[in-house]
Amino acid sequence: MTPDMDRRKVLTSAVLGVAGLVGATALGSLAPEAAFGATVAPDVLPGEVDPNFAEGRVTRIDGTLIVANGSDGRLHRIQATTATSIWKLYPTTFDAVLPGDGLYARGLLMPDGSLAADSIWVNIVSVDAHVAMLQRDAVHLDHKGSRIIGHVVPGHSAAVYNGTPAISDLSMVQVGRHVHVIGAWHPDTNEIDIATLYTAV
């Protein structure tokens, strides 16, 4: 059986409510970088829509079904299951997803048109910027002429210096340096919570 068929079987079983399922992290990484790095399905041609991916703004939650308006105008119905992993700055549970949140979801398109999600990333952002100012609990970023406030969240924010493993010490971040930040957006603001900040020293 191919990996895609295994995935289809697990997610189909999850949607139908079969007990005893593994978490979605067994099917793929929940790391925030995976939201942006995962490739489209191999049978999707350039310029076509990947049926196993959804992005948008949550408009309604009905039980474990998330309804989201995509930036391309499509309406997405995303079904969370016992096999769905959810990230919102860190791995969390379905009740952390709220109307107004933005999301990316990857999973499997079901016959009814819904997406059975194996991974959902809530309010995730990936930003290239320059450090404008440092505070004890925040990194102020200049992103294409706009200011973003990156909050340092104890126990969750980390820095990667020169490609080394991530550490919780952000004290080596320098004003004026280019950084890449993955974090969780505070909807309708210019603020994010920093998950990982990448920079050189």
Residue 150 token pair: 């990156």
Q: How far apart are CA 192 and CA 11, in angstroms?
A: 32
Residue type, position 188, single letter? D
Could you list the beta-strand ranges (E) of the chain.
Answer: 53-62, 65-69, 75-79, 85-87, 91-92, 102-109, 115-122, 124-135, 138-143, 146-151, 158-161, 178-185, 191-199
Query: Residue 87, Cα to own-chain centre: how many angstroms?
Result: 6
CB 184 within 8 A of CB 89: yes
- Residue 104, number of CB atoms within 10 A of its CB: 22
DSSP assignment letter at 18? -
User: Residues 124-148: pLDDT tens digits?
Assistant: 999 999 999 999 999 999 999 999 9
The Cα–Cα gap between 72 and 69 comes to 8
Q: Of 77, 82, 107, 105, which is closest to residue 93 (Cα–Cα)? A: 82
For 59-97, give one letter per residue: b (16+ CB within 10 A) or e: eebeeeebbbeeeeeeebbbbbbbbbbbbbbeeeeeebb
Instruction: Locate the domains of the chain by residue range.
Output: 3-122, 124-199
- CA 38 to CA 31: how far, in whole Å? 11
Do 3-122 and 124-199 fold alike per CATH? yes
The CATH H-level superfamily of 3-122 is Nucleic acid-binding proteins (2.40.50.140)
Decide: pTM greater than 0.85. Answer: no
Percent of the chain with pLDDT strictly greater than 90: 73
Over 90: is that where the pLDDT of 41 sits?
Answer: no
- Give the span between the Cα atoms of 178 and 162, in whole angstroms: 12
Homologous superfamily (CATH) of 124-199 is Nucleic acid-binding proteins (2.40.50.140)
Identify the band that residue 12 occupies on the pLDDT scale cut at 50, 70 and 90: very low
Instruction: Band the pLDDT of 44: cuts 50, 70, 90.
Output: confident
Q: How does residue 33 score in pLDDT terms, banded at 50, 70 and 90?
A: low
